[in-house]
Structure 1
């Protein structure tokens, strides 16, 4: 800003402001710097000198206030500008409407649209969308619907984009508003786009309403529209949180039918829903589908599939998952081995449990006490207590004790105590087994 003599009414500007041109230059500079307080003071000082504001000065002040998030100050300037009929720029009208949205002044937003015809300007999707956003912020559904109809009568062509803009502004706040606005758009003759449906689905999914999201997906397909990866991903996340594996599998199948690109994250989310619901068959099917889709499953996918194997009945599927890990050239982790051993324990498959622990020892995997305890329990329940010393030989730092009822329990101890406790525990298990016979 050019230095000059201080003006008595605006001393902080350090510039001599005597004409409309001087104020216009100063206000444009303040607007670019987003110094909205100083711009507002300069605007009032200009009026104090009986200088008439123009489109450029009002635009500069409005931009400074809007960009500086000072919605209240921008709205205070609006009535004066409307009264003097100087807001003759559609861009400035858009800024004013945006300020109405931020300040939730839906009545004033309607006034902005009402002035446009007198200024020989036609409303567009931006100004109408901002005005409708103010109506929606105040939950004025009838006003928003009326605005939609008026916009169509005035020949605004970007009706779908306008609907999406209003929806994007408010769908993230409350899912009810997203659905209500979608219904309003449909009743007003607007054909919602895939983005409109997708935003509504995302709003529902953010609140865990997977049922509503699934209904919207069905409506989208019925309308002959193509869904998006973002919308389907949001629905998958909602199904994962709710352990709704049916919805997750259907959504993933829909993505494949639509030719949408699925990735490891999408498959992992679907597997998470199957894992939470303990649906091992669906989880194994998704894992095989990922392999046939040329995806590269990672340890997270295999872990989710193993977690879906219920203890007792799915030990065979758990071994299949572990076999797929090896076939893909991925080195199994101790966690995967522990999950597989736990499944073998439930199925009384003590031989497979021993083989898994032996393989983990060969591959130098540091299995924890849970895997060893599961294998010991499988041997105990099958009357194979003589296998306990062989089983615990690699498990250094653990010893056995008998819980009430004769159930073996594994606990940490020193290596010397572990070596002595293994032999003693084997004899105790054998004696307990003979007593049961």
Structure 2
């Protein structure tokens, strides 16, 4: 109920709508605007702008657009503030086409476009991956004499980085500095991420040094991007050094940071992988499936590598309640195969079934190979039979052939021959053998009975 001591007019209603906007009450703002119309109170640019701004802050971009249309239909002159609010609302929703439509409308209606206008439009296009449009807006702003600020450049750099245009992102970053604009965290992170995508590790490190020299705050996101850039550039030594520097500089590493560093390690660097896991624990950062899988993979070599360490990591996963997956077991069985640890390979297949991780052609093939290398022909044939019995679709037969290959099928065939020789009813095994080798033709010189 209206207070009789307060005059209901455009000014008081506009003030009330502005109050609703500041409090995030967009529905109340709309109700007041509707009540103004019902009470024949003139609605002006300020009242509409406040209501549009309230919708923008609430993420109600379609309602904001409807209000902008209502403003124009009511012959109320739109201004820069109302249009900027509508563009910002579209930007939050990634509705870049509507943002550009409003921008064009502003030009037609001779409404002044300012830095905020272009920043909002760049943000809308950038979030939708339209980096080429962001660059066009950047040029358009310059041609109209609109000042481009740090936010403008940050949006453009981020859009180019997300679009995989790392060279353009770095060019814009340098151009921003040339214009004496102070870079912000968004621009710095996007520029370093651009280096990350392209493997330009030296540039990533230079940017980190520049940020540090300018007394700007380094954060985990920037450093993680630099670590990844070093990893992709094959400089895992620098990746590990940067991780240590983060700890020294009191920059808290995240699981993503450690995962990036672990994945950079080559198979013979299992000790470094374990060291990173220890650092994670000391930093109170929980490892996830990716972390452990990368560490297990570093224990894997053609000769088996540190298969025992890999199995210990599986135990550590279970203790930490980290879920294992097909990647985990593929790496483990492969390590056991290389070391001719057939018992462990069979035990891992059993464990996969216990924890409900589906076997595939690669894990089964590696287990068969482990048994063959240890001359455990009966076990190899049993695994082969299980593998064949699980194939019931043409696509799976193709996957089996791709996984085993001609060489592994020869191994399987030899295993079958050795096992059938001691079987009381060898004829029963022949169909499985023929199906398993997929019609692979064997010449006499390919058969071995060592």
1:71-110 deviations in Å (ceiling 9; x for gaps): 4753885998779xxx8xxxxx655534355533558599
Q: Over aligned residue pairs, what C-alpha RMSD do you find?
A: 6.0
Q: Alignment partner for residue 287 of structure 1, among 274, 278, 302?
A: 274
Deviation of residue 311 (structure 1)? 5.4
Contact map agreement 1:341 1:371 (CA 8 A) in 2:
yes
Within 5 Å, which residues of 2 pair with 1:385-404? 385=375, 387-389=376-378, 391=379, 398=386
Q: Is the 8 A contact 1:201 1:234 kept in 2?
A: yes
Contact 1:149 1:188 in 2 (8 A): no
C-alpha deviation, 1:113, in angstroms:
6.8
> Which of residues 234, 246, 261 in structure 1 aligns to 2:252?
261
For residues 435 and 302 of structure 1, the distance between their equivalents in structure 2, rounded to whole angstroms, comes to 39
User: 2:210 is matched with which residue?
Assistant: 222
Q: Distance in 1 between matches of 2:351 and 2:204?
A: 52
Distance 1:220 1:358 in 2: 47
The runs of 5 or more residues in structure 2 that have no matched partner are: 91-98, 126-133, 390-406, 417-422, 434-444
2:184 is the alignment partner of 1:197: no
Separation in 1, partners of 2:344, 2:122: 68
Q: Spell out, residue by residue over 1:291-338, the C-alpha distance to the aligned partner (whole angstroms, 9 max, x if none).
A: 24535655543333333556524x123333224555788499796566
Q: How many residue pairs end up in the alignment? A: 364
Rg larger for: 1
2:399 matches 1:407: no
Give the Å deviation of 1:287.
Answer: 3.3
**What SS does structure 2 have at the residue aligned with 1:407?**
helix
Q: Does 1:343 align with 2:335?
A: yes
Would you say the 8 A contact 2:274–2:295 is kept in 1? yes
State the SS of the aligned residue for 2:276. Answer: helix
Match of 2:50 in 1: 60
Q: Which residue of 1 aligns with 2:68?
A: 74
> Is residue 353 of structure 2 the alignment partner of residue 353 of structure 1?
no
Residue 166 of structure 1: CA displacement? 4.8
- Picking from 60, 81, 84, the partner of 1:97 is 84
CA distance in 1, matches of 2:297, 2:424: 33
Provide the C-alpha distance between the structure 2 equivalents of 1:113 and 1:141, rounded to a whole number of angstroms.
16
The 1:219/1:27 distance shift into structure 2, 3 A limit, reads: closer
- Structure 1 residue 221: deviation in Å? 1.7
2:305 maps to 1:316 = yes
Does the Cα contact within 8 Å between 1:239 and 1:248 map onto a contact in 2? yes
After TM superposition, the score normalised by the length of structure 1 is 0.56
- Structure-2 residue corresponding to 1:211: 199
The Cα offsets for residues 225-252 of structure 1, whole Å up to 9 and x where unpaired, read as 4432223445667898xxx372676445
In structure 2, the partner of 1:141 is 138
Seen in structure 2, the aligned counterparts of structure 1 residues 190 and 360 have a Cα distance that, compared at 3 Å, is same
Contact 2:227–2:239 (8 Å) recurs in 1: yes
1:301 aligns with 2:298: no
Aligned equivalents of 1:229, 1:183: Cα separation in 2: 22
Q: Secondary structure at the match of 1:321?
A: helix
Checking the alignment, whether the CA contact within 8 Å between 2:45 and 2:82 is kept in structure 1 is no
Secondary structure of the corresponding residue to residue 281 of structure 2? coil
> Could you report, residue by residue, the CA deviation over 1:390-412 in whole angstroms, capped at 9, with x for unpaired residues?
x579979849999974634899x
Q: Deviations over 1:356-390 (max 9, x none)?
A: 54698799968969667545534534xx53x444x
On the 8 A contact 2:336/2:345 being kept in 1, the answer is no
